[in-house]
Structure formats: C-alpha cells, structure tokens
C-alpha cells in the first residue's frame, strides 16, 4: 500500500478504515450518472444516496439554468464519498453549453451517452448492452426532462417499462431503478468494472482527508520524516 495512505489510516478508527476498504472494493467508474438541471433538493440528494448505495463513484452535474442543491437530511453525508463534477461556466446562446461540455468530455473518456426518456422508441432498461463499453446515464429536470442537446449527443435512449396511467417516474426513482438494474448485471458479468489501483489510491486518499481533522498538518509531518 502507498506509505502515505498507510500512515493516514492510523488517524481514523480501525472500523472506519476497514469500512473504507470494503466500500472501495465495490466502487465502479464503468457506470457514471449525469444530472441535467435538477433543481429540487430532495430529488438531487436522493440520487446521490442511490449512487453511493450502488457503488457509482462519479456524478456529473450540469447547471444550465438551475443550481444543484443538496439536502443533507436526505443524502445523509453520502456526497462526501462521491466525486461530484459540476459544469456551469459555459453560457452559450441556447443555454445548453454546459450540457455540451459535459457530454463531449464524457465521450472523450470513452463513455457511451445514454439518455433516459419515457419514449416508446427508446431501448428498454434490461436491454441496455453493457459489453459495448462504459455507460453514462443521463437524467433530466423534473418538469421537462432532458434538453434537445442531450438527446442530440446521446448514443442511445433508454426507458423504464411502465404499465399504468402515469407517464414517468420521479427523477430519483428513475435513477435508483436504472442503477439497480445496470449495476446488478454489471457485477454478475466478467466485464472490468472495478477501479484500478491508481483510482483506488486516489479515492482512498480523498476519503481519508475528509475523515481527518487538520490532515494538511498530518501530511506535512509525514513528508518531514
């Protein structure tokens, strides 16, 4: 193990340290979540909680018109264990510049962009092929769904089968259902869904820093040894 990480582990309880190692074993970047203009704090926070529960490490937050706010009573501290990437600095005329930045960046990283939508023409959730490469599941705002820009840049559209009068699920419910299906199938596969050693060390370092008071002083003392 990295000597610095081993040193820092002495400043958290053995139980906390073991929990970090156990959770890290199940973390993945093969699946990531993208949220476009989610504005209700309850829904935003519930999605974070689901991402943590299903082992999804990264959440990409697009803020074209709405600021993404977290409700601590709902997310229960899970945001500190996730990597949150925000996109809010591109005010293009159509208002969707941050969507382009986020999705094009993910494409460059090798992700397939999967737009979630209730359209009957979309692929059913259980039919989404995972062997074709890493997946970025994109969820839209509660009222209007995803922007046209998101659909234009998407590689595929995905829907959750529904059999009632209602036309769509709540955004947080949709995310939880999609993540349950996709991560369950992923873990049952032989695909390389786990983090590599570099990613594990990077995330573990961040978790330790968030768990240790005055970690800057402690790391400085380690470097002086």
Delineate the domains of the chain, giving CATH numbers in brackets.
29-202 (3.40.1280.10)
Percent of the chain having pLDDT more than 90? 69
- pLDDT for the residue 87: 92
Cα dist from 126 to 76, 153, 177, 184, whole Å: 30, 22, 11, 11
For 88, what's the count of Cα atoms within 13 Å in the CB-facing half-sphere? 12
Mark the ranges of the chain whose per-residue pLDDT is less than 50.
none
pLDDT at 74: 58
CA atoms within 13 A on the CB side of 132: 11
Residue-level pLDDT at 72: 62
Annotated binding site for S-adenosyl-L-methionine: 116, 160
Annotated binding-site members: 116, 160
């Amino acid at each position: 193990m990295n000597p610095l990480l081993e040193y820092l582990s002495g400043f958290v309880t053995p139980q906390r340290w073991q929990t970090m190692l156990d959770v890290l074993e199940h973390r993945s970047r093969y699946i990531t979540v993208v949220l476009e203009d989610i504005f209700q704090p309850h829904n935003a926070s519930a999605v974070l909680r689901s991402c943590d529960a299903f082992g999804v490490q990264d959440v990409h937050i697009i803020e074209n018109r709405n600021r993404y706010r977290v409700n601590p009573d709902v997310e229960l501290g899970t945001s500190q264990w996730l990597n949150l990437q925000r996109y809010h600095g591109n005010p293009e005329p159509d208002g969707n510049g941050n969507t382009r930045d986020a999705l094009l960046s993910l494409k460059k990283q090798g992700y397939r962009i999967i737009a979630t939508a209730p359209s009957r023409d979309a692929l059913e959730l259980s039919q989404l092929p995972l062997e074709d490469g890493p997946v970025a599941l994109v969820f839209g705002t509660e009222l209007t769904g995803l922007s046209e820009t998101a659909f234009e840049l998407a590689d595929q559209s995905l829907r959750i089968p529904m059999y009632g009068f209602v036309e769509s699920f709540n955004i947080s419910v949709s995310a939880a259902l999609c993540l349950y299906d996709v991560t369950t199938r992923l873990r049952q596969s032989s695909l390389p869904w786990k983090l590599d050693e570099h990613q594990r060390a990077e995330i573990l370092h961040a978790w330790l820093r968030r768990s240790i008071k005055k970690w800057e002083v402690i790391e400085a003392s380690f470097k002086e040894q």
